[in-house]
Structure 1
Amino acid sequence: MRRDLALAFCLCLATPAVADVAETVTDHILPGYARFSDSAAALGAAAQADCRPAALRGPWNAAFDGWMGVSHLRLGPVEEQGRALAIAYWPDPKATGARQLVGVLAAADPALLEPGAMAEASVALRGLFGLERVLYGPDYAEGSYACGLARALAGDLANTAGAVAAGWGTPGGGGYADALLAAGAAGNASFLDAREARQALFTQLITGLDFIADQRLGRPLGSFDRPQPARAETLLSGRPLRNVALSLAALREMAQTLAPEAAATQAALGRAITLAEKLPDPTLAGVADPSGWLKVEILQQAVHAARDTAVAEIGAALGVGLGFNAADGD
């Protein structure tokens, strides 16, 4: 018995202190969704005032920044009614969204511009990427169909972002936040105990890092012999590397709330962020050159290293392993 107690005590000393679920919900998830919802609402309002590309690119970038703060969270209200895909349909390997936009502009159907109609359209047409194609394509005049389409897309995005934030609610308000905060409570079918809640959040952290390494960096990297710079995220707007840096920063914040003394994880994430911020290749087009490819691969390796460090350090601190994430099926 004394040996077991001593071993447990040593393990406690070796394991980072855990802030756990409540801090992650109140200090990371809820503020992140509030910022995204606010920025999407601001974009929707800006589109109503002036729907030309020059007026909307700034608000659109602010909304995309907001999404980078929560894009790794694939549980709860964002997974209901296909909202995550309606916000950001990417990767889109068959260019479905681009083809649909061409068809929509050619048809110029006024019914699609009616209030609420965009919510029934294909997710490939909608969201941040639908707006990127409109705002960074050919310029158009006030009063044109493309201008009205920008308004409809921005309004739809604002509604979707607002619905996600409302679905999370506030602590004690009966939303999805309470399902995590009251894990194990009677009647809570989402999380049967506190460990399930910890595992769900830990899975968001790790799969978020996987997505950065495998998709945001892996897709343009391709292979050394066949790089694929045209497959980078948000290439039209020139922000592929910005997405990497912002999403890494959001995941570092999440890791801090889950395990505030996980020093090795924070250091590994900090190294990856520094590499991203110092890489002089905002569109990741440099992967077409061997030296540029190697620089992006070094960043990818740093993200993989941060992921592995978090699995070992934070997983042990929380007493959990990886679970299923909705992004696993993408």
Structure 2
Amino acid sequence: MNRQMSPSVRRLSALATVGLAVSFTAPAAADDFAALNEVVVADYLLPRYEALADAGSALDAALRQGCGAGTLGADASIAAYHEMADAWMAVQHLRLGPSELFLRADRIQFWPDKRGITGRHLSRLVTEADPAALEPQRFAQGSVAVQGLPALERLFFAPPEGADPAFACDVAVAIGANLKSIAGGMLDDWREGPTPYAAVIRSAAEGNAAYMDAKEASLQFAKALRAALVATTDLKLDRPLSTSAKAVKPRRAESWRSARSLRNIRINIESAEALYRDGGQAGFAALLRRQAGGEEVDKNIATAFAQARARLDALPDSLQAALDQPEGWQHLDDLRSHLRDLLALLSGPFSQTLDLPVRVFVSACGDAAGRFSVKAVAADGRLLSDLQLPGRGHAAARRPGRDEVVVLARRPGRFALVIDPFAGGIVRQIEAAPGRHFYGHAVFSPDGRRLFATENAYAEGQGVIGVYDAAAGYRREDELPSHGVGPHELALLSDGRRLVVANGGIRTHPNSGRRKLNLESMHPNLAYVDAGSGALLQRLTLPGDLHRLSIRHMAVTAEDQVCLALQNEGPRDRLVPLVGLQRDSAPITLAKGPEGVLRRMRHYAGGAALDDEGGVLAVSAPRGGLITFWSSQEGGFLGSLEVPDGCGLAAAGGAGRFAVSSGAGRLLIYDAVSRRSETLRDDRRHGLAWDNHLLAC
């Protein structure tokens, strides 16, 4: 499966980058964004939430009537279920305001459910057959897994074995009443009460507690537009399709029991297109066309939506039925690739041309007073959130499909903080298990359900990977061996089943602070680990005379090329390469680079990142004040940029574009192709020091 952007998208990204420089001279005005917000609220949001509330009421009535007649799966009840699911798919991407309150979105649809929680909790509920469990308040405060559409789908199409039909009907009625209550509550919160959220959006132009201005509110709608595509590609197609026809898992698809997986996607895309296209002269599409270069961007987006609709219209509602057709997997994979191209248009040219920075950069930092925090900065340099940390942070990981980021402590810290970088809230704090501390890096599974974090089992002197269940409040559910000492950065490969771990080889102990205890005998390695069982699949090492070249950081391309950033713990009178490449079962290849560059890097590479297209690798050397650029495929040296104490790196949209942060307080965007840079923030006067790593989300 090719996950790179198509050539046409790459050309358009370049065009939009040129257009961006022009649009800064005459950007969309505040009145334009206020008009956009008004039309989205009045003509898009409120009608869809009204339809959802109506569908909830109809479902409640149908279930009561059907079960009153002793029939759980009456035709009218099943038809009402589909109408409710249709209405939910039309607003599923709108994760803002009322839908975020009281876990409403999760209660309507607890999915993906990788561990089968819905089935287990529903079986227990119907087996125990306790009428008190269905009392409305108690039911609404119970397990979210049994409160919504997935549980109702099971009752209709795959009821628990041995269930009492009468009580199963009672459960269905309780679900119907709960969905009616949730949908009605969301609609009320949008348009009624002392501070209806529609009024919050509309008053953003004057500034309020939720939004600084109208443009910031419009950004939420741009994010929702993109979120519809992210959920479709990353969750609804990637999970069941995997990487080949032989590896498909159709039961990972959304709503597969009711044979509506592709019907859901069709509604998601139709709803996203309506958000983009509708609204007359005040809508996104019209506003985009009025910007420099916007007509070309709009033409390509409109064409991409039309092609997506055509592909979906040619497919049945059921993903399994589509797979059963000749060339079925290929047709679905083509749809997936096409939707990724559409997502790239929305994430890049669309947001750039409208100056709506969907991309946000997150980093831990410290100040001159010794305080530590994590900050989120928009692509236009605005500070979006600033949250205090209990100690020094290191790196962060974004949870797919959610506005959640986990910031991990620097070694030997024991905390990890789950935050919402957009809203500026702390979701949860995670403490390391006894006898363990974090190494500062983590990665999520593609479905966002599990977090894998590198940790030190310091009494044993071995590296481990802590596995946390994000859906269960980040409960630590398992521990895998890292198959080495001092694991640092790790990544999941494209199949979602294999972890690649940089075992730095350096033994440490919290009683010894940050002192390195085994430099003479250290043996770093790159380990491939089964993410489910923890089994070692492959382990690669460097030549024996380089056993003190610590493998620390990495960036991985869509084709699973592993790019490494290394740190030399050996003698300083010997220059050694600090960039490596590895793929499949091939040995690690070291990229030598010019001798003068190696000297400037001063034996230490602090981080690695790939640009959005995966062709350019950036490797930082903060001790030498240098950011270096390399070919991710051949390892050829491409150039460098001087940034004093520059270390944090992240893709910034487009070929060769990177965000760079420094311990001297600067945050900038650099284009390694044109060699132009733009400072986003300069906080040197405030004594701010950005920490080692930068996350783009």
**Quick check: TM above 0.5?**
yes
- Say if 1:323 and 1:175 are closer, same or farther in 2 by CA, change over 3 A: farther
Query: Which residue of 219, 225, 228 maps to 2:249?
Result: 228
Deviation by residue 1:259-315 (Cα, 9 ceiling, x = unmatched): 133332222112111101102462345447893211101111111111122233431
Deviates more, 1:77-86 or 1:51-60: 51-60
2: distance between equivalents of 1:220 and 1:255?
A: 28
Q: Residue 531 of structure 2 corresponds to which residue in structure 1?
A: none
Q: Residue 480 of structure 2 corresponds to which residue in structure 1?
A: none
Q: Residue 293 of structure 1 corresponds to which residue in structure 2?
A: 329
Identity %: 31
**Aligned to 1:53, what secondary structure does the other structure show?**
coil
Structure that is richer in strand per residue: 2
Q: Report if aligned partners of 2:126, 2:163 keep a CA contact under 8 Å in 1.
A: no
1:34 aligns with 2:50: yes
Q: Which amino acid aligns with 2:109?
A: A
Q: Which amino acid aligns with 1:244?
A: I
Q: How does 1:82-97 map to 2 (within 5 A)?
A: 82-97=103-118
Query: Which residue of 174, 195, 198 maps to 1:177?
Result: 198
- Say if 1:114 and 1:67 are closer, same or farther in 2 by CA, change over 3 A: same
Q: Report if aligned partners of 2:315, 2:322 keep a CA contact under 8 Å in 1.
A: no
Q: Report if aligned partners of 1:97, 1:124 keep a CA contact under 8 Å in 2.
A: yes
Deviation by residue 1:237-268 (Cα, 9 ceiling, x = unmatched): 00001001011000000112441333322221
1: distance between equivalents of 2:328 and 2:146?
A: 33
- When normalised by structure 1's length, the TM-score is 0.88
- Say if 1:294 and 1:305 are closer, same or farther in 2 by CA, change over 3 A: same
**Aligned to 2:319, what secondary structure does the other structure show?**
coil
1:213 aligns with 2:233: yes
- Say if 1:178 and 1:59 are closer, same or farther in 2 by CA, change over 3 A: same
2: distance between equivalents of 1:62 and 1:173?
A: 31
Q: CA deviation at 1:174?
A: 3.3
- Say if 1:122 and 1:56 are closer, same or farther in 2 by CA, change over 3 A: same
Query: Which residue of 156, 162, 186 maps to 1:164?
Result: 186
Q: Which amino acid aligns with 1:135?
A: F
Q: Residue 221 of structure 2 corresponds to which residue in structure 1?
A: 201
**Aligned to 2:285, what secondary structure does the other structure show?**
coil
Q: Which amino acid aligns with 2:229?
A: L
Q: Report if aligned partners of 1:72, 1:204 keep a CA contact under 8 Å in 2.
A: yes
Query: Which residue of 102, 106, 110 maps to 2:127?
Result: 106
Deviation by residue 1:179-211 (Cα, 9 ceiling, x = unmatched): 11111425x110011221111110111021110
Q: Which amino acid aligns with 1:260?
A: A
Q: Residue 151 of structure 1 corresponds to which residue in structure 2?
A: 173
Q: Report if aligned partners of 2:260, 2:317 keep a CA contact under 8 Å in 1.
A: no
- Say if 1:8 and 1:164 are closer, same or farther in 2 by CA, change over 3 A: closer
1: distance between equivalents of 2:307 and 2:149?
A: 29
Higher relative CO (Cα under 8 Å, sequence separation at least 6) belongs to: 1
1: distance between equivalents of 2:25 and 2:359?
A: 27
Q: Report if aligned partners of 2:305, 2:342 keep a CA contact under 8 Å in 1.
A: yes
Q: Report if aligned partners of 1:241, 1:284 keep a CA contact under 8 Å in 2.
A: no
1:263 aligns with 2:299: yes
Q: Which amino acid aligns with 1:154?
A: G
- Say if 1:79 and 1:33 are closer, same or farther in 2 by CA, change over 3 A: same
Q: Residue 311 of structure 2 corresponds to which residue in structure 1?
A: 275
Q: Report if aligned partners of 1:199, 1:323 keep a CA contact under 8 Å in 2.
A: no
- Say if 1:157 and 1:276 are closer, same or farther in 2 by CA, change over 3 A: same
Query: Which residue of 154, 158, 171 maps to 1:133?
Result: 154
Q: Residue 3 of structure 1 corresponds to which residue in structure 2?
A: none
Q: Residue 45 of structure 1 corresponds to which residue in structure 2?
A: 61
**Aligned to 2:146, what secondary structure does the other structure show?**
coil
Deviation by residue 1:90-145 (Cα, 9 ceiling, x = unmatched): 10110100111111111001102223332111111111111111121249999710
Deviates more, 1:101-110 or 1:133-142: 133-142
Q: Report if aligned partners of 2:226, 2:343 keep a CA contact under 8 Å in 1.
A: yes
Q: Report if aligned partners of 1:220, 1:287 keep a CA contact under 8 Å in 2.
A: no
- Say if 1:293 and 1:144 are closer, same or farther in 2 by CA, change over 3 A: same
Structure with higher Rg: it is: 2
Deviates more, 1:135-144 or 1:312-321: 135-144
Q: Residue 14 of structure 2 corresponds to which residue in structure 1?
A: none
Q: Report if aligned partners of 1:199, 1:321 keep a CA contact under 8 Å in 2.
A: yes
Aligned length: 320
Q: Which amino acid aligns with 1:215?
A: L
Q: How does 1:299-318 map to 2 (within 5 A)?
A: 299-318=335-354
Deviation by residue 1:199-244 (Cα, 9 ceiling, x = unmatched): 1110111021110011111111112141111111101100001001
Q: Which amino acid aligns with 2:336?
A: Q
Any stretches of 5+ residues in structure 1 without a counterpart?
Answer: 1-5
2: distance between equivalents of 1:281 and 1:38?
A: 23
2: distance between equivalents of 1:212 and 1:121?
A: 29
Q: CA deviation at 1:149?
A: 0.6
- Say if 1:149 and 1:312 are closer, same or farther in 2 by CA, change over 3 A: same
2: distance between equivalents of 1:9 and 1:156?
A: 48
Q: Which amino acid aligns with 2:96?
A: L
- Say if 1:101 and 1:158 are closer, same or farther in 2 by CA, change over 3 A: same
Structure that is richer in helix per residue: 1
2: distance between equivalents of 1:304 and 1:103?
A: 40
Q: Which amino acid aligns with 1:155?
A: A
Q: CA deviation at 1:326?
A: 7.1
Any stretches of 5+ residues in structure 2 without a counterpart?
Answer: 1-20, 287-297, 361-399, 405-447, 449-697
Q: Which amino acid aligns with 2:233?
A: A
- Say if 1:9 and 1:104 are closer, same or farther in 2 by CA, change over 3 A: closer
- Say if 1:288 and 1:220 are closer, same or farther in 2 by CA, change over 3 A: farther
2: distance between equivalents of 1:120 and 1:24?
A: 32
Cα RMSD (Å): 2.8
1: distance between equivalents of 2:110 and 2:306?
A: 28
